[in-house]
Each structure stands twice: as C-alpha cells, then as structure tokens.
Amino acid sequence: MSSLNRSESTRTYWRSLRQLEDSAEFQELVSKEFPAGPEGEWSSTSRRRFLQLMGASVALGTASSCRWQQGYIAPMSERPEGWVPGTPRHYSTCMEIGGVAEALTVTSYDGRPTKVEGNASHPSSQGSTTSYAQAATLELYDPDRSRGYARYEAGSEVPASEEEFRQFLAANVRPKVSDGSGLAVIAEASSSPAMARLHERFAATFPNAQYVEFEPLSRFNEQAGCATLFGVPTRPVYQLEQADIIVALDDDLLGQHPDRLRVARGFASRRRPEDGAMSRLYAVEASFSVTGARADHRLPLRGEQVGAFLTALENELAGRGIGTASAAVDQGTFAEEHVQTFLHALAGDLAGHRGRSLISVGPGQPAAVHARAHALNLALGNRGRTVEYHDASTVALHDPADLRSLVQSLNSGGVDTLVVLGGNPVYNAPADLDFAAAMAKVEHRVHLGLYRDETAVASTWHVPATHWLESWADARSWDGTWTLRQPLIEPLWGGKSVAEMLGMVIGRGVIEGRNWTRSTFREEFSKDELVWRQAVQRGFMPGSGLAIAGAASGSAPALQHSAAVQAAWSGSGSVEAVFQTDHTLYDGRFANLGWLQELPDPLTKLTWDNAAVVSLATAEALGLADMDEVEVELDGRSVKMGVYVMPGQATGTVGIALGYGRSEGGHVAGLWVDQVDSVGSNTYSIFSAGAAAFRAGATLTATGGHWPLASTQDHHLVDEMGMQGRADRLGELVREGSLEKWKQEPDFAQHVVHHPPLKSLWDEHPYEGYRWGMSIDLSTCIGCSSCTIACQSENNIPVVGKEEVMNGREMAWIRMDRYFSGDAEDPKVLNQPVGCMHCELAPCEQVCPVAATTHTSEGLNDMVYNRCIGTRYCANNCPYKVRRFNYYNFNKQLDKPDRGVEKLGKNPEVTVRARGVMEKCTFCVQRIQTARVDAHNQGEQIQDGAITPACAQVCPTQAIHFGDLNDEQSAVRQKHDNDRAYAMLAELNNKPRTAYLAAIRNTHPDMTPAEATTTHGGGEEESHG
Amino acid sequence: MANTAELTHAELDNIIDPPALVQGKDDLASITDTVCNVAENKPPRAWYIAFLISLGVLGMLGASIVYLVITGVGVWGNNQPVAWGWPIVNFVFWVGIGHAGTLISAVLYLFRQGWRTGINRFAEAMTIFAVICAGMFPAIHVGRIWVIYWVFPIPNQMALWPNFRSPLLWDVFAVSTYFSVSLLFWYMGMVPDLASLRDRAKKKMSRLLYGIFALGWTGANRQWHRYERVYLLLAALATPLVLSVHSVVSFDFATSQLPGWHTTILPPYFVAGAIFSGFAMVVTLAVPARALFGLRNLITMRHLELMNKVILATGLMVGYAYAMEFFISWYSGNKYEGFAFVNRAFGSYAWAYWIMVSCNVLVPQIFWFKRFRRSIPVMFVISIFVNIGMWFERFVIVVTSLNRDFLPSSWHYFSPTYVDFATLIGSFGLFLTLFLLFCRFLPQVAIAEVKLQTPHAHAHHGDDH
C-alpha cells in the first residue's frame, strides 16, 4: 500500500475518502462490526501489487508439489439425469428390529448414505428416529462387518465363495433334506409380507423342516396376554394424545416400546400446559426407565410385585364399581403407606377418567399380567379411545419357547442342517438352553449375519448378510403400516439379504430382493406401476395398517401371588434380578457401534458398560459400593459385573442390562481372538428362558475387586458438600413446577433467580437480519438421548472410548444432563439437554487469543477450526461447559487402510476435526447455509421451519425448536415468548440464545409434596418450584 | 561514579548499622578473586554431580515434550471441565518464582537497599531461568504448538490479528516484555564483571567469549557514568513490571467469569504471592550456592535474614488474601462464588487447599523468631515449604475452580498423569541446568556493586563523618 500512497491516483483516492468520511453510508460502514467482505481492500490493485500477487501465486503454484498426498476423482462418464454431484438426495426406507419397522428417510451424498432421519409422512415415525436408526450409517460402514463367505473347518476360518456355498447346498443339504426333515431354520422376528410369502414356499418345499423365529427380547407376552382376551394374537396400539391418565406397569413406553416414537409424540402433545389439559403419568417399575423418569408419580416395586400391584389396583377399582375384584390378593398386603397412597390416588384418577385412561404393561411381565391389565382397559372403556386392539395374526411374534423345542431336537440328533438367518443365538439364547452345545451336535451349521459373530464361528458356513441400507425388503410398523425398505447403496461386501438367503436354501430359482419385494407388493396391494412407484417414493402404503380385532370374548386368568411377594425386601436373602433391554445396544446387536456404546444410558449415564444396578438401600444391606466388582449368581450360573448404585432402583432388586460382553462382536464390542476385551459383561450367561424378565434368587457377592465404570456424570465422587452445592443451585438451573403452580403463576420460571438489571457496557449488536435461536421444552423432553446420537451422526463427532470417557473427554456436542431430586430411594429425575447456547455476549469469544471463536452477524457463535490453536481458555470460560477438545487425534483410525471405509459415513458438509482444536455445537450451521442457498435461489427469505438442526429433527417429542428470533411468527420465537421460558444462568449476562421452557409436573393433589418447595435437608437434593 | 550513590550508602550505613554486608577479611581484590575464581577454576565435584543430575532431569523434560507433541495434549490429565491443568499451574508457579529477581534488582536498587548487592545477580539469573521455564508451559500446553506463532501480531496474508481482548494475549506481551527487560537488566549489570573475567582470563577461548560479551568495557569514568545511568533507567523500567507481570497473569483468571477466578483481589494477591515464592526460591538456591562456592562472606546471614523477613511479610499478605477471598465470596451472596470457596477448603481437593495454607501461612510464622530467621537449616526447609505451598496455591486456583463450576453435570475430578509429573519435574531440570551453568561460567555476585558495600569503600567516608 505504501507504493499507492506515492502515486497520483492514490491522492485522488484519499480525497474521495475524505468526502466519504462524512457520508452516512460511510459512517454506517465504520460502525459495522461485520463488514460485507474484504473486496474493498483488494479491489484497487496497482501494477506492483499485481506483480507481487502474481509472483507469489506462481511461486506457491510451483511449490504445490510439496503438499499432502493427492487423491484423484474420476468424473462420471455418463452422469445420470438430474444428478448434481455433491447434492444430497433423500430416499425413503425402513429399519426392522424385532419384527417392527421404523420408517426412515435417508440422506445420500453421491451414492453413499450418510444420515438417517425419520420419514415425516409415515404415521408411526412422523419424522423422528430412535438412536438405533441414527447409528445405522456407522453400522453400514463398520470395518468389522463380514466381508465374504467363509467356511469353518476344525476351528479355523477358510475364505470361500458364493459358488462354493451354492455347491455345498446342492451337494450336502438339499439331497439329504428332501422333505425338510433334518433341516431347521432360526430366523429373526419378521413382519415382512415378502418373507411370509417366501416362508410359505419354504414350508411347501420342506414340509417337515422346523422354522423358528427367535428374539431374545420381544413383546410376545403382551401379544399372548391379549390373545387370552381376544382369541387371536392381538397388538394394542396406544393413543397417548387421548389419555388423561397413563399407567405404565414395568413398561418403558417412552424409551423402549417398539412404537415409542409415536407414543412419545402423543404423550408430549399433552405435556405442554398451555396446549390444553395435561395428562398424568404413573409408572410402577423396578429399574428406572425413561418413562419412570418422566412420570409424575413413580413407584419403585420389584418385578414380581407389579402383578400384585395390579391386583391391588383392580380391587381398589372394584370398590369404585369398575371391573371385578380379584380374590387372590389380600388387600392389606402392601403395608407401606406410600404404596397405599399411590394406589388410592391412582384408582381415584382412573375411576374419574374412564375412557380417557390407559394401562400398559411391559414385555418383561408374564402374559397373565398383560391379560389382567388389558381387561381393566376394557372395563375402563379405554378401547377405541386411548388404545385400540389390532389383529396381529399376520405379524404375530413367535413364542420364544419355540427355541426350546428346537434345541431339544438338536440335542436328540434329529437335525443335520441348521440355518441361522441373522440373529446371534449362540450369544443371546437363554443360558439354560445351552444353545451352543446343542448347535455343535449339528453336522452342517450355516449362518447368515452382518458380522462374523459368536454364532458365525460356531458354524461350518458363514454367509455375509447385506445391511438393511443395502437390500430390498418390506416390513410393517407397529400399527401394521406396510413400509418399504429400499437400498441406498450396492452391498459393500456382497452378501445376501435374509430373503435371498432363504431362497438359496429353497433352491427353486434365484430370489432377488427387489423382484421378490415387488411381486409381493403386486399380490398384496396393486399391480399398477404408478402405485408401486408412489409407494417407493413415499416409503409406505397409507391405510395398510392392521385390522381392528373383534370383540373381546375371553377372560383373563386370575393372578396368583404368594403372600411374601407384597412384603418389602427384608434386606437379607435373595435379590431379584431384573433383566432389561439396553437403552443403547438393544439386545447386543449394536454392540460394535461406538456411537451407541458411548451414548450415556439415559438414567445411569454409564457408557461402555452394563452394571449391576442396585439402590442405595440394597447396596448398604449387601455391603456393596459403586464400582465394586461383584459376582451375580442366578440359578447356579454367575457373571462378574461392576456395581452401580442408582437412586430409584427398587430395593431388593438388581437391574441388569443385556447386550454386553461380546466375545466375537468386533474391534469395538470385543474380539477375543484379537485380544480385544469385551465391553461389559455377558449377562445372557445368567438369563434363563422364562415367562418373565425378572427372577428372584440372585445373590451378589463382592469379589473384592474394583470395576471401573465410565459415567459421563460424575456421581461417584460427589461428597456431602458437593451434594449440598448441587442441591442449592439445581432449582435455578432446571426449573420445574407443578401444574397448580403454573396455573397460579404461569411465569414462575422467570422469577426463580433474582439479579440486578443486566446492563451492557457498550451498544449491543442490533442483529437486523436473521437472529438464530433455539428453545428446549423441558416439559416434553423425555431424556431419551436420541439428540446426542443424531448430532454425532450429523456433525462427525468422534468416539473416544471408555478410558477417555473416564478421563472426562467425551465429545458429545449436546449432552443430556440428568439430576435427581427428592428421596434417594424414590427420587424424581430432571433431564436437561445442553448444547452450545450461542450467547450473544459469549464468554468464550472474549478470551480466545487468536479469535478462533467469533460471532456472526446473525448471532451464531462460530468455531473456526483452522484458526484454533487449542489454548482451551474458551472451555474454561464457558459456564455451560459445552466445549469439547480434541485431546488426541480421535479420527486416527480413519487413516488405517482396513478401517478407511468408515470415512464414507462422514457428513461431507462438516469438517472432520483435527487433533488439538476445540469444537462445540454449531446450531448445525451447515444446515443453515444449505437453507440460505436454497432460499437465495428461490429469491426469498428463509422460511420458518426450513432449518431443523439434527437434534430437533430426531426429537420424538419435538422438545427442540430452532429458527429466527426476529421473526415474530416463528415457532422458536413463540417458545421464547412463552411464560415458561427462561435462560439458564442469565444472571451472568451472557444472553444465551437457547431458552429453556420450565418442566411442569401434573402431580396428584394427594401426593404433591407441599408444593415441591425449597425444603432443605432430608433428601439428597431438593428442587425449587 | 555517582556521588549520590555514595552519599546514599553513607546515609544507609548510618541507618542500618552493621553487621556489614561484606564480612570477613575481604578486600577489593579478594572479592574479585572469590567471585572470579569460581569461573576460572575447576568447579567442585558437587557441581559435576548436580549438573549431571540436572541434565538427566532436563532430558526427561525433553522426552515428555516430544511425546506430548507427537501424541497430543491428552497425555496430560486435563479434561473437560479442567481444561487447564498442571501446565498452567506450572506456568504461574514459575512466573511467580521469576519475580524476586526484578524486585531485588530494580525496586531495591531504586530504594537504595544496599543489601541487595550480594544476591541481586543471583536472583536476576534465577528470574531469567524461571521465566524461561514459565514461558515454555503456555507454549507446549496448546493443542497445536505448530501454529503458536499466531498469538503474535505478525502481519499475514489472512489479515488476521490476534484477539486483543484476550487476557492470554496480554500474557504473551507481559511475559515477553518482562523477560526481555529482565534479560537486559541482568546482562547490563554483568558487563563490568564480564570485563574483569576477560581481563583475568588465561585461556584464549574464555578471553574471546568474555571479551565479546564485555562489549569492550574498560572501566573508564565515562563508561561508568553511562553504565549507572542506563542501570538506573532500566531499574525504573523494570519496576512497574514487577507489578504488571503477575497482575496480567492474574487477569487470565480474574477477567474470566469462573467462580473462584472472577475476583478483583487477584492482581495484588498474585503479586504478593509471586514475591513470596520468588524470595523463597532465592533462599533455596542461595543457601547451598554460598556454601558450595565459598561465598559466605558475600551472601551473608544478614542477607538471608532480610529475605526471610520479606518472606514473612509477603506470607502474611498472601494469608490475608486467602481470608479476604473467603469473606468476599460470602459477602457477595453469590451462591456459585460461595460454593467455589467452600469447595476449595472442604471439597474433593481440600487436601490441596490445606497444604497450601499450611505451607504459605502457618509455616512462615516461625520467622517471627530471630533464632529461626538466622538458622540455615530452618530457612532452607521453610523456603522449600513455601515453594511447595505456592505451587499448590496455583493448583488450588486453577484446578479446584474448574473442577466444579456452574453446572453440576459437568463436574469432574482431575488426576495428573505421569507425563504431568515428568514435565513438572523436568522443568526443574531445565531451571537447574541453566542455573548451574550460570554458577559455573558467570559471576554469581555483582563484583562491582559489592565492592561498594565493603568497609574499604566506606573507610574514607568514615573520616568525613
């Protein structure tokens, strides 16, 4: 610039600047903190400057050979019409777990699926997703997936080909089992019409073959219980939006139910006090569930007491003229006063809301309890309003006991070919069946699976399965809606879908997934090509739900309870083991997915482990403490686990999650042959087949060892003083109140913290364009933690592993804070999702020495990874502690050639962060930019709702809203203006852009503890209303 | 030679009665001999042993830094929420140590405290080396050390400047200014002594090297005149730095909004603490050095006693600050602030807090007794206690405040790793290596200045009186 000063033209330039100085336009430019861009600085280029720049460019250009390793991109020689490289496409598909479909819309970049979302138009998902579906891309690109056929000979693995396998089938299987005798198939539960059709062909070909569907966890008991009433397999479908009173008996309706997305959405619709009458949720359960955490009243009872509780409830209701009394229970047996109060309140509520109440029972309870509960639903007149019973004959779940008879014939030598169509029975079959030993007696053991897992290595042949994102199929959602599964990518490692595999076994022509699905559709719905194409595009067929079951004709059997059942646990003697589906790993099939392993359990906040969960009283009685290694013995079998002391676990029970302790799970879950230790303990080893998921008679013996557990919320080390400090501030951080309080003072949440007027030392930014903000409704948030996984998938957040979680270096951008309040044995739970608040006066921005975190003109608190040098000062100064630091290169494994396939799953819109930089929630800035480009191309403003961050999109209860706070009509602005809205730690004058809406509990007047007030002392923690 | 200085010393002698600052039978020549002999003769065997040990420990530092840079900052115990752990603790600790030098050299010079002469060179050297150790920590603690130069306002093609609002940037300026002024001051004061060494050097190499650094000093009157002027100016320049450096370091904490950091008392408290720890470190080093190199007559018991008095005084200031922090946190009525301090004293790091209080407040009280103030073993042990206590003070400030801040969900315990230990211990290796080299090759005592304090220097003035 110095050369410019000397030239004549520069003087002109300066003269004009002086003229400009006084103009309003110039004043505005000066006052702007965010000028439009640097054009002004560069536009007037002198000859010298030009030569300087050109010289430097040439020098740098020639030096480009010193750069990083180069990659080559081959352009498509023939680009498909309408295909714009780098532009995402969205396809409808579905995922089936346990015979229930979850309808999805999957985003694909240049042919590789990267992000899973819910299918917004599907009646059951309505745009939301479960954590399992979110993690699907990680599973698809899991480097540990089976990459080809294999034979197992004398314990060693021999690579094989499809051709060899076909020859094997032709030579060794089909001739021997001409009518199917000696052939057995174990399949996973399926609701697929195409599979049903294929099964018919299978049964016709091999009439004497055994075909068993096995799921370690299913809602079969519910189906069986309803069947005693309706005569046919029946499936209750809940309408929580209609229910005033909801009773979840050992049922995690919101967290584990196959239809939980729709259930939770319906529930949430009745939890915003300003939207009409709130529902009241009662939960009776042994282990704390997501539902129990959200319940207005929760009663911890042992699993075996739940049936007795139901009987007592029936008796209470019979006293009010509803249903019939069940004679088996002596009314006085639940001696504890709080149970009595609970029963009275509940019975009163149910009697007062006939036809607007709902009783649901969890899959772990015996069929008889289900039958009694649904009989009560009928007696209460709930059918057709809050619950509808559908005829589930076409999608009936199979009795898990079928496996027992199969094992008997395996043991008797009646089977010489066993085909395992997916599933992993060697790992997860009930321990008392000793499935592995029975299977070993079979001569030909064929396994189809995504991984070379425990069952694969116990087989003689392994066939790689296609992932559901790689193959055609169909399935039905919980309400029966026919949902299509279409592939988004060619099978990465070849392989067969379940239908294709079964077709190979049948051997009458080749079954090809797409054609078979298509032809089934033709038979089932329409031959019209247009209908098919619409179905493919939409992903489902509207109105294809299950038929409503006929009138109930049967009656439920009376429940028998021993007198001891209702008694409180005496503190000695046996403990009841309560087995539960893991919140993050399901039955263990997702054990190799780091995202899910590292997703904290919604209640225990444990990652990378299952633990023996006991209450404080149980732990004291048994002399156990957190992280003690304990041997859990049940029915003569035992397993070693770590102890986790959990407030609210029913006293006298131990909560045990299934799905851990894999020995052949993969490099994440555990792979003993490669010296990769199992994550957690294999609790299937003490899980026996039975009518219920709980079993008394467990003993817990401390081994004296220490079992480190990685919890993301450090509850272990909190001392007395820390507890007090937490209790003092909790009511300010997570604000909640009863419905009564809200009615009296709707804006009570805004008067919790009193602080002097918050003044700014300088003129604040006007934010004249967009002003992005978020709102989170704590009243509807159920704490399911799907947002954490959705964010991880969207934003390429790395997995750090158990050790680093224990070191406190987990990377989640949005975390689910969980606090307890009240009595340690029966606490209330408060959930609070916390991501970056994008403070207008962000403390992090002030302290960064290199200005790597800065503010945009729209109020985003941007993180410039390239500029970050990693002083971590910003993290220290963030009062919400939402900043995450790359302490190591957490993406190092991507550079390993054999794990590079993982790269395909990364979101190309988001930088994969390097070691040594800070990162945090960006409000999904890439989605904002996409919406901006779209709006710009349309020549209009960004419309409200055009931007949905990943966390908001996945949320089943729509607790999270995002948008422009300057737009008076936007949803997020409405939420910010809500009386319940408050800013966490607003007294620091950060001006956070995220507003929380206070949680409202609709408690029963009889059980409302003196207006949830500030009673200090006594409990572990207290809360402010 | 400045008459003023002579007059002042004369006056001082009247005020502060002997014991003389230079004791024994030393005359002007023997002082030169005593100091220069250290550099000219073979050092004692103990020096070699100490040097080898220091080098070994320095090697450990090097290895841990290499490991750190190759692997990532995760090798330390830092976590979320304790994003600053031992490296920053060590940084503040070393900067604190580096305070005594400037204080002794500049402030005491300006106040005409003659007793400084015996120890000022020594203390200045300590300052330089401590600041080197200190400066190393912020550099290696960042996530991407290879772009650390972005903290300097270097014009660049991105037209990006550092963020001048960030206290870390102020730190960069404060510490680098302090370092350069201290270095200059130290070197400046050494020039006449380097000339003595040059003049006495028997080997060609030493003559050449000392000669280069002596800058052609001849001891001419004009040179002495200019020397005194520059020395005075530098002293005046350095004096505000004594207050500013640690004040700015304290801004790292004070300007943040973290409970436990966000307090206005921090700047004076940090300065007092820095002087406290700096003097303690001088005592720790002076006690063995005077024994080892036979400087007992130059670094006398009076010097040591005076330093112990400073330790006692600043220790009381620090103790007052501890108490005042508690009072203010209670008086503010801010629950987060209140919790932060109660948590310090009674929370999961209570042990660290009580180590700090014991070492910094309780232990130095023994210096109220003259007998202990003048006892070599007692002062040595206490100075080490103070060093430990002051390290823990920084640990308490950094770690206990971070480990439990606003949201209880984020609370997390911090545990150091072996690399943390290796780096901390290694930094002592760096310090001692530099210090031993200094002892071996440079004049440990300001020869020219000490001579002013000898009875000889004052003898003829005595006649005047």
Q: Render A622-642 in DSSP notation, one character per residue.
A: HT--TTEEEEEEETTEEEEEE
Of residues A371, A377, A382, the one with CA closest to residue A224: A371
Q: How far apart are CA A102 and CA A118, in angstroms?
A: 8
Asked if A150-217+402-472+493-508 and A220-395 have one fold, the answer is: no
Q: How many CB atoms lie within 10 A of CB A727?
A: 22
Domain A220-395 has CATH 3.40.228.10: yes
Is residue B234 within 8 Å of B106, Cβ to Cβ?
yes
- Cβ-Cβ contacts under 8 Å, A713 against chain B: 409
Chain center to CA of A9: 65
The helix or strand, by DSSP H or E, that contains position A245, with its residue range, turns out to be strand A245-249
Task: Determine how many CB atoms are found less than 10 A away from the CB of residue A857.
Answer: 17
Task: Give dist(CA A831, CA A818) in Å, integer.
Answer: 5
Every domain of chain A and the residues it spans: 150-217+402-472+493-508, 220-395, 564-711, 720-756+771-1012
Does residue A219 surpass a pLDDT of 70? yes
Q: Say what the pTM is.
A: 0.87
- Give the H/E segment covering residue A969: none
pLDDT number for residue A19 = 47
Hey, are the CB atoms on B72 and A879 less than 8 Å from each other?
Answer: no
Please name the CATH architecture into which domain A150-217+402-472+493-508 falls.
3-Layer(aba) Sandwich (3.40)
Q: Which of A864, A837, A854, A849 is nearest to A918 (CA)?
A: A864
Q: Are B335 and A876 an interchain contact pair (Cβ–Cβ within 8 Å)?
A: no
Interior/surface letters A634-649, b for 16+ CB within 10 angstroms, e for the rest = beeebbbbbbbbbbbb
Q: For A706-743, what is each residue's pLDDT tens digit?
A: 999 988 886 555 677 888 888 888 888 999 999 999 99
Let me know: does A418 contact A446? Beta carbons within 8 Å.
yes
What is the third-level CATH fold of A564-711? Barwin-like endoglucanases (2.40.40)
Dihedral pair phi/psi, residue B321, rounded to 5° = -60, -40
A768, two tokens: 């004249």
Q: Which residue do the tokens 């392994």 mark?
A: A462
Q: Which of A966, A963, A958, A999 is nearest to A981 (CA)?
A: A999
Find tokens 């330039």 and name the residue.
A13
Task: Give the span between the Cα atoms of A994 and A860, in whole angstroms.
Answer: 11
Contact B73 A916 (CB under 8 A): yes
Q: How confident is the model at residue B428 (pLDDT cuts 50, 70, 90)?
A: very high
Report the gap between the CA of A727 and the closest CA in chain B (Å): 9
b/e map of A469-482 (b: 16 or more CB within 10 Å)? bbbbbbbbbbbbbb
In the numeric block, which tokens belong to residue B368? Answer: 């109220």
SS3 B321: helix
- B12 versus A936: the higher-pLDDT residue is A936
Question: Are A221 and A544 in contact, with CB atoms under 8 Å apart?
Answer: no
SS3 A361: strand
| H helical segments located in A67-211 | 131-134, 136-140, 162-168, 193-205
In this structure, of A484-498, A893-907, A938-952, A997-1011, the range with the lowest mean pLDDT score is A997-1011
> Any idea what DSSP says for residue A562?
-
Backbone φ and ψ of A280, nearest 5°: -120, 130
User: Which among B151, B255, B336 is the nearest to A849, CB-wise?
Assistant: B151
Q: Which residues of B touch A871 (CB under 8 A)?
A: 138, 141-143, 168
Sheet holding A245-249, edge to edge: A297-300, A280-285, A245-249, A357-361
The span from the CA of A626 to the CA of A606, in Å, is 12
Q: What is the mean pLDDT of chain B?
A: 85
CA B140, B146, B152: angle at the middle one, nearest 5?
Answer: 85
Q: Choose the closest CB to A884 out of B80, B161, B411.
A: B80
Nearest-by-Cβ selection for B80 from A38, A721, A808 = A808
Q: Please report where in the chains the tokens 């403003």 appear, as a residue.
A: A941
Q: How confident is the model at residue A426 (pLDDT cuts 50, 70, 90)?
A: very high
CATH topology of domain A720-756+771-1012: Alpha-Beta Plaits (3.30.70)
Higher pLDDT, B320 or A67: B320
Which residue(s) pair with A237 in the sheet? A388
Tokens for A728, please give them: 């003092």
Average pLDDT over residues B431-451: 84
**pLDDT tens by residue, A81-106:** 877 888 888 999 999 998 899 999 99
pLDDT at A415 > cutoff 60: yes
Q: What is the mean pLDDT of residues A842-866?
A: 91
Is B143's CB within 8 Å of A872's CB? Answer: yes
Q: Does residue B464 carry a pLDDT above 70?
A: no
CB A363 within 8 A of CB A252: no
Q: What is the share, in percent, of chain A residues with pLDDT greater than 70?
A: 91
**Which letter does DSSP use for residue A474 in this model?**
E
How far, in Å, CA of A958 to CA of A833, rounded?
13
- Distance, in angstroms, between B263 CA and closest chain A CA? 14
The answer to whether the CB atoms of B143 and A868 lie below 8 A apart is: yes
Instruction: Choose from A876-880, B43-47, B283-287 the range with maximum mean pLDDT.
Output: A876-880
Name the band, by pLDDT with cuts 50, 70 and 90, for residue B15. Answer: very low
Q: How far apart are CA A151 and CA A347, in angstroms?
A: 61
Cα gap B102→B110, rounded to integer Å: 11
Q: What is the pLDDT of residues A442-471, one digit of tens each?
A: 888 999 999 999 999 999 999 999 999 999
Amino acid, single-letter form, for residue B80: Q
Report the gap between the CA of A506 and the closest CA in chain B (Å): 55
Write the DSSP symbol of residue A161. Answer: -
Nearest Cα residue in chain B from A832: B409
Interchain proximity A868–B161, CB inside 8 Å: no
Token pair of B244 as six digits: 């500013």
Cα of first residue to Cα of last residue in chain A, in angstroms, is 63
Q: CA neighbours within 13 Å on the CB side: how many for A784?
A: 33
- Reported confidence tier of residue A1010, pLDDT bands at 50, 70, 90: low
**pLDDT tops 70 at residue B3:** no
3-state SS, residue A186: strand
